């Protein structure tokens, strides 16, 4: 089976029971942002602007768990910010698991190994020595770490344990050079790989989460899948990036520029995702085949953003993860008060100009699962995709030149420094605006133009 039976069965039961009750709108996945603080300063991180005044605020544990009860969905994706910074992340994961939900922890991976060492210490007995020695041998923990693990864990705080109900969902936007450039720190890709290897060795479920931008090299994304498949990663989420920019839209109108100069348009998204169905056969891509067909340009879907709602410190964010026209105190209130007919693209026609080029997973993947725009055979296609054999790990992927950046002395920091003109003090395209707060946001919700600028720079570097 491609996906865990427990998850597939739970999701199917949830949808069928709501269909029987004729519930007009309901949640499939809750995107929970307990905080917007982050340890990284990725280029173009979206939440930095939107929530710059509440970076230090965080939701209480009770509020987080209460939100999941309100949405009453089978799956919760804990994002942010960096959720592993949330002081009660262990209690939050445990609480959601106790509620019977699947949990995705969307992380940049920088604290994953620390959390897994806490877990090891909590279960340490001499019988665990072979695992500890293996981790040392694989250079995933140091001798010093091993000593700490051997001392055991003596406080009563919970730890993040491996379970088939929880996935680490690691944010990766390319191979080493590209990823480190986007997250603006050398060594992050390497840490992601080490954290993933350690997680797999300890029996955790691991997925990767990738956003495709206008300048993303699709060949590199394919290589990235091949590489992570060789590490036996359990699944991948991939979605086109999207950002509406009214100023640029205006330039398209007034100066007669092409939308392609600024946006990842629907046409371009379809070109980038032309091979997604083939990838879906080779790799364990999460999502429905119907959404894959939509991305590949084979059909239209209607946005169902209400099915993947976002809850954060300000409330329930409407209408979707990307756009904010308001925050509501309760999920039901949001469902009732938002005029959903104002949003999305129906049969290729945008109801709201901001939605025109959007094909993101949080708006359209649920449409595939819910049977919106149902076509004969869709249920069978989705069923076959879910229940067919999981693609085998692609061990040839180990030969991919994944460590093509800092590991081979081709990091980006030197280039970034060189790109700053010392006389004029001009800013490098590799750097964020120093006047902006230095943190926070949510992986995948970004100022895509900034990332595109960076990725364009990468292809220039490659050509030279
Ligand atoms: S199409 Fe849907 S998900 Fe996309 S921006 Fe519009 S409301 Fe949000
Ligand atoms: S995109 Fe934003 S939230 Fe995600 S790791 Fe980067 S700075 Fe943190």
User: CB of 108 closer than 6 A to ligand 2?
Assistant: yes
Residue nearest to atom 8 of ligand 1 (CA): 320
Atom of ligand 2 nearest to the CA of 44: 1
Q: What is the C-alpha separation between 198 and 146, in angstroms, rounded? A: 14
pLDDT on residue 412: 74
pLDDT at 417: 52
Residue 436 pLDDT: 33
Atom of ligand 2 nearest to the CA of 442: 3
Indicate the top mutation candidate among 240, 308, 320 to test ligand 1's pocket, ranked by most ligand atoms within 8 A of CB: 320
Q: Phi and psi of 350, rounded to 5°?
A: -75, 125
Torsion of CA 264, 266, 269, 271, to 10 degrees: -120
Phi, psi of 403 (to 5 degrees): -90, 70
Nearest residue by C-alpha to atom 6 in ligand 2: 42
CA distance 33 to 30: 9
Region of 38 please: left (phi>0), alpha (psi -120 to 50) or beta. beta
Distance between terminal CA atoms of the chain?
45
Which residues partner with 171 through β-bridges? 209
Higher pLDDT, 212 or 260: 212
Starting from the CA of residue 84, give the closest ligand: 2
Distance from Cα 432 to the centre of ligand 2, integer Å:
13
Quick one: pLDDT at residue 296? 96
At 420, the pLDDT band (50, 70, 90 cuts) reads very low
Q: How confident is the model at residue 75 (pLDDT cuts 50, 70, 90)?
A: very high
Q: Which ligand is nearest to the CA of 83?
A: 2
Please check whether residue 334 is in contact with residue 328, taking contact to mean a CB–CB distance below 8 angstroms. Answer: yes
Q: Please identify, by atom number, the ligand 2 atom nearest to the C-alpha of residue 445.
A: 1
Given the CA of residue 352, which atom of ligand 1 is nearest to it? Answer: 6
CA angle, residues 404, 40, 203, in degrees to nearest 5: 70
E strands, 7-125, where?
29-32, 75-78, 102-107
Which ligand is the nearest neighbour of the Cα of 38? 2
The Cβ of residue 456 has, within 10 Å, a number of other Cβ atoms equal to 14
pLDDT in tens, 389-401: 899 999 999 999 9
User: Tens digit of pLDDT for each residue in 4-36?
Assistant: 888 888 999 999 999 999 999 999 999 999 998
pTM of the model as a whole: 0.89
CB 11 within 8 A of CB 29: no
Residues 300-338 have pLDDT tens digits of 999 999 999 999 999 999 999 989 999 999 999 999 999
Above pLDDT 90, what percent of the chain?
64
Reported residue count of the chain is 464
Burial of 243 per CB tally in 10 Å (0-12, 13-18, 19+): buried
- Residues with CB under 6 Å of ligand 1 are 303, 305, 319-320, 322-323, 343-345, 354-355, 358, 360, 362-363
């Amino acid at each position: 089976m491609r996906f865990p039976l427990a998850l597939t069965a739970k999701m199917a039961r949830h949808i069928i029971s709501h269909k029987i009750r004729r519930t007009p709108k309901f949640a499939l996945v809750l995107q929970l942002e307990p905080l917007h603080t982050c340890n990284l300063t990725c280029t173009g991180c979206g939440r930095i602007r939107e929530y710059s005044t509440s970076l230090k605020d965080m939701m209480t544990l009770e509020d987080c768990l209460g939100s999941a009860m309100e949405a009453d969905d089978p799956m919760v994706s804990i994002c942010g910010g960096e959720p592993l910074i949330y002081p009660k992340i262990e209690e939050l994961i445990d609480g959601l698991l106790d509620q019977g939900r699947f949990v995705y922890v969307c992380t940049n991976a920088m604290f994953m190994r620390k959390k897994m060492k806490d877990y090891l210490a909590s279960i340490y007995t001499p019988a665990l020595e072979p695992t500890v020695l293996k981790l040392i041998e694989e250079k995933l923990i140091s001798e010093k770490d091993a000593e700490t693990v051997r001392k055991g864990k003596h406080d009563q705080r919970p730890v993040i344990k491996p379970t088939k109900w929880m996935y680490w969902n690691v944010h990766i936007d390319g191979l080493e050079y590209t990823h480190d450039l986007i997250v603006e720190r050398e060594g992050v890709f390497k840490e992601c790989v080490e954290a993933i290897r350690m997680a797999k060795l300890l029996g955790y479920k691991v997925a990767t989460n990738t956003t495709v931008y206008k300048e993303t090299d699709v060949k590199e994304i394919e290589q990235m899948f091949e590489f992570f498949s060789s590490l036996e990663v359990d699944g991948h989420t991939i979605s086109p990036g999207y950002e509406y920019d009214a100023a640029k839209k205006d330039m398209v109108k007034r100066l007669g520029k092409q939308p392609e100069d600024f946006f990842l348009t629907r046409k371009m998204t379809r070109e980038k995702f032309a091979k997604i169905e083939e990838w879906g056969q080779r790799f364990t891509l999460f999502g429905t085949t119907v959404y894959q067909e939509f991305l590949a340009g084979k059909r239209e879907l209607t946005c169902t953003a209400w099915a993947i709602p976002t809850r954060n410190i300000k409330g329930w964010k409407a209408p979707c993860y990307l756009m904010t026209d308001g925050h509501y105190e309760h999920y039901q209130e949001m469902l009732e008060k938002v005029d959903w007919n104002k949003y999305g693209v129906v049969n290729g026609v945008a109801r709201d100009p901001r939605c025109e080029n959007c094909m993101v997973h949080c708006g359209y993947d649920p449409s595939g699962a819910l049977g919106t725009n149902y076509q004969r055979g869709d249920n069978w296609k989705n069923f076959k995709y879910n229940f067919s054999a999981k693609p085998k790990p692609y061990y040839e992927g180990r030969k991919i030149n994944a460590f093509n950046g800092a590991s081979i002395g081709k990091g980006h920091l030197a280039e970034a420094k060189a790109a700053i003109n010392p006389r004029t003090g001009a800013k490098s395209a590799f750097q964020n605006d120093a006047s902006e707060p230095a943190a926070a946001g949510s992986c995948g919700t970004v100022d895509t133009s900034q990332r595109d600028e960076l990725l364009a720079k990468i292809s220039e570097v490659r050509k030279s």
